[in-house]
Amino acid sequence: MKDTTSIIATFDTPDTALRVTKLLNVWFTWILEGSSDEIDDLTDLFDDFGLVFDDYQDTDEVDWNETPEIDLNLKGTEVIIRLEGKGAIIDTIKDLLHSVGAYDVTVDEEE
């Protein structure tokens, strides 16, 4: 059975939440597929938030023997992330969400 983690991040406006969702979508794709094609897009998206992409390239927390499954949703000012799999880079995601302006991040972990 896979571990499941839900993360809900709340932002000040729906526009900010949408921008964060776009960033996360490209970032998660890069993490899971490892494609270098998205590096320029990622760098630009991180720059838009005043962040450096290199600070979020570390995927050592991912258990590549059990690739995480990620579901990303947007609901108004909330970005909702559901992850299945051990070592699903929870701390890095929480840090990133706070860095892009989330004023509340809730994590619910189930086994």
Ordered per-residue pLDDT tens for the chain, 111 residues: 467 889 999 999 999 999 999 999 988 888 777 666 667 788 899 999 999 988 887 665 555 556 678 899 999 999 999 988 655 578 888 999 999 999 999 998 776
pLDDT of residue 41: 80
Pair 82, 4: CB distance under 8 Å: yes
Return the half-sphere exposure (C-beta side, CA atoms, 13 A cut-off) of residue 29.
Answer: 13
Question: Could you report the per-residue pLDDT of 43-70, keeping only the tens digit for each?
Answer: 899 999 999 988 887 665 555 556 678 8
- Give one DSSP letter per residue of 34-76, joined into a string: --GGGHHHHHHHHHHTT--GGGG---TTS-TTSPPEEEEEEET
